Amino acid sequence: MATRQSGDPSHAVEDYLKAIRHLQRESSPVSTTALAQLLDRSPASVTNMIKSLAERGLVDYEPYHGVRLSEAGELEALRIIRRHRVIEAYLIEKLGYSWDRVHAEAERLEHSASDELVERMAEVLGHPELDPHGSPIPTAKGEVTELRHPALSEVSAGASVIVQEVSDADEGRLRYLAELGLYPGTLVEVMEHEPFEGPIRVRVGGRERSLGRGLAEIVRVELQDEANDGGASDDAANN
């Protein structure tokens, strides 16, 4: 991966590219309204930034229809995602950070750390494929394989699942999930779905727990039998 130069995208540009990539995994093209909500920006400022990104060849934009990352924009988004996730892994494994604190720290460091530093971190860690929350780490060449797992809230009662990935956006929720022992790799037995959108009862480490639907939706899982078979790729992006 090349060393960053002074003319590379700014912090705000990098945040926009990450946000567009996140949203377009669910729906493409991405609406400016959805982007404004995610980034907490006004629609006017979002439109101005998108036009700037389009002029730089980082997105394809059609007014009133939405925006998509261009090939160059996708590579840049994957580069910054790699930096973020490598830094998270390093903070936990080498500096003893808890998994609920690393996201905010990595958000700050991802823009300022040199590519050389990030690659040395990755080398020290043995080039991990997943970050501490179970999300795939893109390679230095901009390649990533993403598996789409169902949410814990979608799993039928009676199933045994393995936690694969947990959203890292909310520190409070991560702390609570840590208290429950719901880390990637944890075996969970789904016992019962309470009616009328009630909580989900599960067994974790021999103890019964109750999770609200909102919390269960950020925990991505795989059926135990499928996990043992190695799983299957549903979405691969190789650039």
Query: Is there a shared CATH topology between the 1-146 domain and the 152-228 domain?
Result: no
The mean pLDDT of 60-74, rounded to a whole number, is: 94
**Residue 14: per-residue pLDDT:** 93
The mean pLDDT of 108-130, rounded to a whole number, is: 94
**Residue 229: per-residue pLDDT:** 66
Query: Using H for helix, E for strand and C for coil, what is the string for 137-189?
Result: CCCCCCEEEECCCCEHHHCCCCCEEEEEEECCCCHHHHHHHHHHCCCCCCEEE
Specify the CATH number of the domain 152-228: 2.30.30.90
The mean pLDDT of 161-175, rounded to a whole number, is: 89
Task: List phi, psi (to 5°) of 136.
Answer: -70, 140
Residue predicted with more confidence, 11 or 86: 86
pLDDT above 90 coverage of the chain, percent: 75
- Confidence category of residue 151, pLDDT binned at 50, 70, 90: very high
Specify the CATH number of the domain 1-146: 1.10.10.10
Rounded to two decimals, the pTM is 0.84
Show me where the domains of the chain are located: 1-146, 152-228
Rounded distance, CA 164 to CA 148, Å? 10
**Residue 195: per-residue pLDDT:** 87
Please count the other Cβ atoms lying within 10 Å of the Cβ belonging to residue 228: 10
- Confidence category of residue 228, pLDDT binned at 50, 70, 90: low
**Residue 145: per-residue pLDDT:** 87
Rounded distance, CA 14 to CA 56, Å? 13
The mean pLDDT of 111-115, rounded to a whole number, is: 90
- Confidence category of residue 236, pLDDT binned at 50, 70, 90: very low
Q: pLDDT at residue 89 above 50?
A: yes
Q: What is the mean pLDDT of the chain?
A: 88
Q: Is residue 29 reached through a cis peptide bond, with omega within 30 degrees of 0 on the bond before it? A: yes
